[in-house]
């Protein structure tokens, strides 16, 4: 089991949302979120920001899972299309489409519990290595964490 499968509690924003990951390997990912009132807009459907987050994370996890060096990624750009209201339990699946030494190109799709496509996205991500925290008052001990 890798660091993404199961809880995403190591990423506070995703933990707050309640996103879980069931697949992160070989350039593929699957994450899910049961839509609650706190995730909805005034039309009783998932807020667009929640949908965009699921797409972004599904692609990022897929991209990270295709890197043998275990690097992280940052989003360079993404394009998304919304096709249907996001209600109930949503599942986002990401795939790696192409890699270079510094970039990864991914796609993702969100489906609802009935299998209806809610949204699709494509994105470009840059591979990065973890840097020490740059928080006020933080001191660098020289140890890798």
Cβ atoms within 10 A of the Cβ of 94, count?
30
In the numeric block, the tokens 């928080």 are attached to 135
Average pLDDT over residues 9-38: 95
What's the confidence (pLDDT) of residue 105?
98
Inform me whether the pLDDT recorded for 142 exceeds 60: no
> 137 or 68: whose pLDDT is higher?
68
What's the confidence (pLDDT) of residue 67?
95
Six-digit token pair at 25? 């390997």
Q: Are 94 and 34 in contact (CB under 8 A)?
A: no
Average pLDDT, the chain: 91
Domain architecture of the chain: domains with CATH = 6-128 (3.10.129.10)
What's the confidence (pLDDT) of residue 144?
41
- 47-59 tens-digit pLDDT: 999 999 999 999 9
CA proximity to 21, closest of 4, 46, 36: 4
CA proximity to 33, closest of 95, 74, 47: 47
């Amino acid at each position: 089991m890798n660091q993404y499968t199961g809880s995403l509690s190591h990423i506070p924003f995703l933990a707050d949302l309640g996103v879980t990951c069931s697949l992160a390997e070989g350039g593929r990912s699957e994450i899910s979120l049961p839509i609650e009132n706190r995730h909805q807009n005034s039309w009783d459907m998932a807020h667009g920001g929640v949908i965009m987050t699921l797409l972004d994370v599904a692609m990022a996890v897929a991209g990270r899972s295709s890197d043998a060096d275990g690097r992280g990624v940052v989003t360079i750009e993404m394009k998304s299309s919304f096709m249907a209201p996001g209600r109930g339990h949503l599942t986002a699946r990401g795939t790696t489409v192409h890699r270079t030494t510094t970039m990864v190109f991914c796609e993702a799709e969100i489906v609802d519990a009935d299998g209806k496509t809610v949204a699709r996205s494509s994105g470009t991500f840059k591979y990065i290595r973890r840097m020490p925290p740059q928080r006020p008052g933080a001191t660098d001990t020289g140890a890798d964490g």
